[in-house]
């Protein structure tokens, strides 16, 4: 009988040598005349253990990690294909506390299944949501999504059901489903992991959205920095056969512009234009891609839908706190010992993620500042680490959850420099449509440079500039750059002296 070995094909595992490990395992097996099937699964998201190799045995899957190509002969000598003893043996990875304490809902198949096999997907519960959706009226599908309490995971946290209802209620012969897979925020990688590790889940979510609003065409706009995700989606679509019925999906590659994550800039980009933000109204739900009613949602938003259909709205809504329902795949990054993907219901605290999961800093020095929500998110000081992770609690301390990216810095960080970086990033990535963002960010860099050179009397000027950007910008690029800048200034004033 042939043995099945799982070696992740996830981009993070590849960056740590997974291809070399897979090749070494294949070669060693051939030399031994051992029949072996290597599955390139996604990542479980415990990155300090990648490449994480798993073997299917009679006692279940046994994990070894982190494995290098040089470890492979030793693993064979230890009979790892039968789950043998070895210093890298971790046993059942699902029982490791980091994973066991999570509640994986949206990401539950990532790292488990063969991402490109539709039958494996179905064997792990995939496809049920679409089947149920096919038996429902569009309004009933929209109702379930509304009742689940699902809010957009791309950043703005807008209720998904309400967006879908607008598209459903807008008459048009052609409508579109657009998936925002631009994931430009530093510290975020959940979209990438889902697309690489469980692409059928996103595809199913889009097909359900199509049934819900009456759209037969979908686009997935993926950033060019994610070639592996693009390849996985295209391969999955090739393998989908007739599963999607009349619904067609096309993958579009972005071209390195952060602002194309903004939904209207993204639509312009798919249309073949410069990705410049459109003023609203009209909302994309009414006049979106090529002027047609369009649902535009983040990857995780759409990938949450199949489970909501399959398990019921209440199942999903029962996770979470307050108005933040369900789970969020948090992404723990930066200077932490155990960085990775942590999917838990809303309601735990930042400190729990940083210390109970993350194990504190990688450098061994105290953590000093944590940026949550990407480059437009606020920096939180230690005194705010007990903030509960839900949309409202973060808003209450002047911060945002955004896409759930958490980036930790130790005490060597210079917060005036981080503030400068935020302004600089805005200057580089601004679409240029409005003056406060286009010019303000450039002036912002200059003012911070002067402050850092000792001109502290210019701090009020910096605050004025931030006010102008907040009030005068058309989109969150210019409108939210003041979050990292002002939070740095307010919580870490000593770095500006």
Partner 1 sequence: MNTTLNTIFARHQHRDGALLPILHDIQHELGYVPDEAVPLIARALNLSRAEVHGVITYYHHFRRTPPDRHVVHVCCAEACQANGSEALANHAAARLQQGDIAMEPVYCLGLCSIGPAIQIDETTLHARVTPEKFDALIAALGEQS
Ligand X SMILES: Cc1cc2nc3c(=O)[nH]c(=O)nc-3n(C[C@H](O)[C@H](O)[C@H](O)COP(=O)(O)O)c2cc1C
Whether the CB-CB separation of 212 and 204 falls below 8 Å is answered with no
Binding mask 179-218 for partner 1 (x = CB under 8 A): ----xxxxxxx--x--------------------------
- Taking CB under 8 A as the rule, does residue 254 contact partner 1? yes
Minimal CA–CA distance to 332: which of 324, 341, 323?
Answer: 341
We find the least distance from the C-beta atom of residue 112 to partner 1, in angstroms, to be 20
Quick one: which H or E segment has residue 5? strand 3-6
Give the shortest CB-76-to-ligand X separation in angstroms: 43
Q: Give the angle subtended at the CA of 266 by the CAs of 265 and 270, to the nearest 5°.
A: 120
The residue from 432, 446, 464, 493 that contacts ligand SF4 (CB under 6 A) is 432
The interface with partner 1 within residues 282-301 (CB under 8 A) comprises 290
**15-31 exposure pattern, b = at least 16 Cβ within 10 A, e = fewer:** ebbbebbbebbeebbee
Q: Would you give the DSSP letter of residue 333?
A: E
Partner whose binding site includes residue 425, from ligand SF4, ligand X, partner 1, none (CB under 5 to 8 Å by kind): partner 1
Residues 199 and 236 sit within 8 Å (Cβ to Cβ): yes
Is 145 near ligand SF4 (CB under 6 A)? no
129 contacts partner 1 (rule: CB under 8 A) = no
346 contact, one of partner 1, ligand SF4, ligand X, none, CB 5-8 Å limit per kind:
none
- HSE of 456 in the Cβ direction (CA atoms, 13 Å)? 7
- The two counts, helices (H) then strands (E), for the chain are 21, 16
State in angstroms the smallest separation of the CB of 398 from partner 1: 18
Integer Cα distance of 416 and 421 in angstroms: 9
271 binds, among ligand SF4, partner 1, ligand X, none (CB under 5 to 8 A by kind): partner 1
Who's near 242: CB < 8 A, 6+ residues apart? none
Which of residues 473, 483, 484, 495 is near ligand SF4 by CB under 6 A?
Answer: 473
Supply the Cα-derived Rg of the chain in whole angstroms: 23
Q: Is 474 in the site for ligand SF4 (CB under 6 A)?
A: yes
Q: Do 16 and 48 touch, CB atoms closer than 8 A?
A: no
Query: Please, which of residues 326-355 interact with partner 1 by CB under 8 A?
Result: 331-336, 339-340
Going by C-alpha positions, the residue among 99, 102, 12 that lies closest to residue 50 is: 12
| Residue 258, H or E segment | none
Supply the DSSP symbol for 159. B
Residue pointed to by tokens 């996830």:
10
Binder among 21, 437, 451, 486 for ligand SF4 (CB under 6 A): 437
Q: Residue 156 touches which of ligand SF4, partner 1, ligand X, none (CB < 5 to 8 A by kind)? A: ligand X
DSSP 12-50: HHHHTTHHHHHHHHHHHHHHHT--EEEE-----SBGGG-
Question: Site map for ligand SF4, 247-266, x if CB under 6 A?
Answer: ------------x-------
Using CB distances below 5 to 8 A depending on partner kind, what does residue 297 bind out of partner 1, ligand X, ligand SF4, none? ligand X
Binder to partner 1 among 113, 413, 448, 462 (CB under 8 A)? 413
Site residues (CB under 6 A) for ligand X? 152-156, 158, 180, 182-184, 259, 261-263, 296-298, 301, 475-477
DSSP-derived 3-state class of residue 408? strand
- Nearest distance, CB of residue 458 and ligand SF4, angstroms: 23
| Rounded-to-integer distance, Cα 497 and Cα 487, Å | 15
Would you count residue 418 as binding partner 1 (CB under 8 A)? yes
Which partner in ligand X, ligand SF4, partner 1, none is near 438 (CB below 5 to 8 A by kind)?
ligand SF4
In the stretch 266-285, what mask flags binding to ligand SF4 with x, by CB under 6 A?
-----------x--------
Q: Is 475 in the site for ligand SF4 (CB under 6 A)?
A: yes
Supply angle C-alpha 356, 46, 199, rounded to 5.
Answer: 125
Q: How far is the CB of 370 from ligand X (least distance, A)?
A: 20
From the list partner 1, ligand X, ligand SF4, none, pick the one residue 158 interacts with, judged by a Cβ distance below 5 to 8 Å according to partner type.
ligand X
Of 385 and 421, the one with the shorter C-beta distance to ligand SF4 is 421
Cα separation values, 47 from 39, 50, 342, Å: 19, 5, 11
Residue 197 binding target from ligand SF4, ligand X, partner 1, none, CB below 5 to 8 Å by type: none
DSSP letters, 202-254, are HHHHHHHHHHHHT--EEEEEE-TT-HHHHHHHHHHHHHTTTTTTT-EEEEEE-
Nearer to partner 1, 88 or 265 (CB): 265
- With CB under 5 to 8 Å by kind, the binding choice for 227 among ligand SF4, partner 1, ligand X, none is partner 1
- Report yes or no: 258 and 225 within 8 Å, Cβ to Cβ: no
- Indicate whether 477 belongs to the interface with ligand SF4 (CB under 6 A): yes
**Interface pick for ligand SF4 out of 195, 431, 445, 486 (rule CB under 6 A):** 431
- Alpha-carbon distance of 401 to 489, in angstroms, equals 20
Q: Which helix (H) or strand (E) holds 181?
A: strand 176-181
The residue ranges that bind ligand SF4 (CB under 6 A) are 259, 277, 430-434, 437-438, 473-475, 477-478
The residue ranges that bind partner 1 (CB under 8 A) are 11-12, 14-16, 47, 50, 183-189, 192, 224-227, 250, 252-258, 269-275, 290, 331-336, 339-340, 362, 371, 375, 405, 407-410, 413, 418, 421, 425, 429
């Amino acid at each position: 009988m042939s043995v099945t070995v799982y070696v992740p094909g996830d981009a993070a595992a590849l960056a740590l040598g997974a291809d070399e490990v897979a090749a070494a395992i294949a070669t060693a097996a051939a030399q031994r005349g051992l029949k072996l099937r290597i599955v390139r699964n996604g990542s479980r998201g415990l990155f300090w253990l990648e490449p994480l190799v798993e073997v299917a045995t009679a006692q279940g899957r046994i994990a070894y990690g982190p494995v290098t190509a040089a470890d492979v002969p030793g693993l064979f000598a230890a009979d790892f294909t039968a789950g043998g003893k070895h210093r890298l043996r971790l046993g059942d990875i699902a029982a490791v506390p980091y994973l066991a304490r999570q509640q994986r809902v949206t990401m539950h198949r990532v790292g488990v299944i063969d991402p490109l096999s539709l039958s494996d997907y179905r064997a792990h519960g995939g496809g049920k949501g679409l089947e149920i959706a096919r038996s429902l009226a569009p309004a009933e599908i929209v109702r379930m999504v509304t009742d689940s309490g699902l809010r957009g995971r791309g950043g703005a946290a807008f209720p998904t059901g309400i967006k879908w209802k607008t598209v459903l209620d807008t008459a048009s012969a052609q409508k579109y489903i657009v998936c925002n897979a631009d994931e430009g925020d530093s510290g975020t990688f959940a979209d990438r992991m889902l697309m690489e590790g469980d692409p059928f889940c996103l595809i199913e979510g889009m097909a359900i959205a199509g049934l819900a609003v009456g759209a037969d065409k979908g686009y997935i706009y993926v950033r060019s920095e994610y070639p592996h995700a693009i390849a996985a989606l295209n391969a999955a679509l090739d393998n989908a056969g007739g599963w999607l019925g009349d619904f067609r999906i096309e993958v579009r590659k972005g071209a390195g512009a952060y602002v194309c994550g903004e939904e209207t800039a993204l639509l312009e980009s798919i249309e073949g234009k410069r990705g410049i933000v459109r003023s609203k109204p009209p909302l994309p739900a009414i006049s979106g891609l090529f002027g047609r009613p369009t649902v535009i949602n983040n990857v995780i938003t759409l990938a949450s839908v199949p489970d909501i259909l399959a398990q019921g709205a209440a199942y999903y809504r029962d996770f979470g706190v307050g108005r933040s329902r369900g789970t969020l795949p948090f992404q723990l990054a930066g200077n932490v010992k155990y960085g990775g993907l942590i999917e838990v219901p809303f309601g735990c605290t930042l400190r729990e993620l940083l210390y109970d999961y993350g194990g504190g800093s990688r450098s061994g020095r105290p953590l000093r500042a944590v940026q949550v929500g990407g480059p437009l998110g606020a920096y939180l000081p230690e005194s705010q680490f007990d903030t509960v992770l839900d949309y409202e609690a973060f808003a209450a301390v002047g911060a945002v959850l955004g896409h759930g990216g958490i980036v930790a810095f130790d005490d060597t960080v210079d917060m005036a420099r981080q503030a400068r970086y935020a302004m600089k990033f805005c200057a580089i990535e601004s679409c240029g449509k409005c003056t406060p963002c286009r010019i303000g960010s450039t002036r912002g860099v200059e003012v911070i440079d002067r402050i850092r050179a000792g001109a502290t009397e210019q701090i009020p000027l910096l605050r004025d500039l931030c006010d102008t950007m907040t009030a005068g910008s058309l989109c969150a690029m210019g409108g939210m750059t003041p979050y990292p800048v002002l939070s740095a200034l307010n919580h870490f004033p000593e770095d500006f002296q």
